[in-house]
Amino acid sequence: MGCGKTLTGRLSGLCYGKMCLIRDCKISMNVTATELPGLMIIEPKVFGDARGFFYESYQRDRYRDAGFDYAFVQDNYSRSCRGTLRGLHYQITSPQGKLVQVTRGEVYDVAVDLRRSSPTFGRSVGVVLNETNHRQLYVPPGFAHGFCVTSDVADFAYKCTQFYNPADERTLLWNDPALAISWPELEPRILSAKDERGVPLCDAETYP
């Protein structure tokens, strides 16, 4: 997906700087590039009225024409309480692309570039995802990912391009000073034993 380019096929798109509007008659979405190559923020078109709201959280053709031509093979859903921090997780031999969103509550969502060939290796981006902004984050293969819950409860849903493989999973240390992630200041902070034992970037297995 290149900015300034009209997308072909059933859909059309207009791009302005780093933001692209993908149009399909009554349905559209904004796609915004971050400073980390491949890491994208997606804002679906939300239709609201007195009853509530409706939006398409995924539509294969439109996402494909926006540049997300991936086969998702697994959907995951978690519920976490305030202060919970999950991550930073990645799979080393079967890396996963993830399309993540929050359906209830709010999280601070973080992705870290672990591609040694990338000009942004070791850098991270944090994005607020919540039930009001309906944002999604596409985290491509080659990144570690995690989030911290800033609401009383948060429901987190995500699609994956590879099946989960516990033996292949690695954990990057969430508070490694080398990453300089500005996590929200919450107490108590709740982590699993596995995430507390995460590996700093200098010792972590990474991608080419």
- pLDDT tens across 154-207, in order? 999 999 999 999 999 999 999 999 999 999 999 999 999 999 999 999 999 999
Strands 74-81 and 143-149: unpaired
Span 125-160, pLDDT tens digits: 999 999 999 999 999 999 999 999 999 999 999 999
Active site residues: 89, 158
Query: φ and ψ at 66, to 5 degrees?
Result: -85, 0
- Tell me, what amino acid is at 175? N
60-115 tens-digit pLDDT: 888 888 888 889 999 999 999 999 999 999 999 999 999 999 999 999 999 999 99
What is the residue type of 172?
L
Q: What is the pLDDT of residue 13?
A: 42
Which pLDDT does position 60 carry in this prediction? 87
Task: Name the helix (H) or strand (E) containing 84.
Answer: none
> 3-class secondary structure for 30-58?
EEEECCCCCCEEEEECCEEECCEEECCCC
Is residue 6 over pLDDT 60? no
Residue 5 pLDDT > 80: no
- Residue 106 burial (CB count, 10 A): 22
Q: Which of 96, 103, 75 is nearest to 145 (CA)?
A: 96
27 pLDDT tier (thresholds 50, 70, 90): low
Phi then psi dihedrals of residue 193, to 5 deg: -60, -35
> What pLDDT is recorded for position 56?
86
Write down the pLDDT at residue 62: 85
Q: What is the pLDDT of residue 66?
A: 83
Greater model confidence, 21 or 186: 186
pLDDT at 43: 93
Compute the CA torsion angle 54, 59, 62, 63 (nearest 10 deg).
Answer: 110
Residue 38: the pLDDT is 96
- Domain map (residue ranges) of the chain: 1-69, 70-208
pLDDT above 50: residue 16: no
Backbone angles phi, psi at 87, to 5 degrees: 125, 180
Q: What is the CATH number of domain 70-208?
A: 2.60.120.10
151 burial (CB, 10 Å; 0-12 / 13-18 / 19+) is middle
Burial (CB count <10 Å: 0-12, 13-18, 19+), residue 19: middle
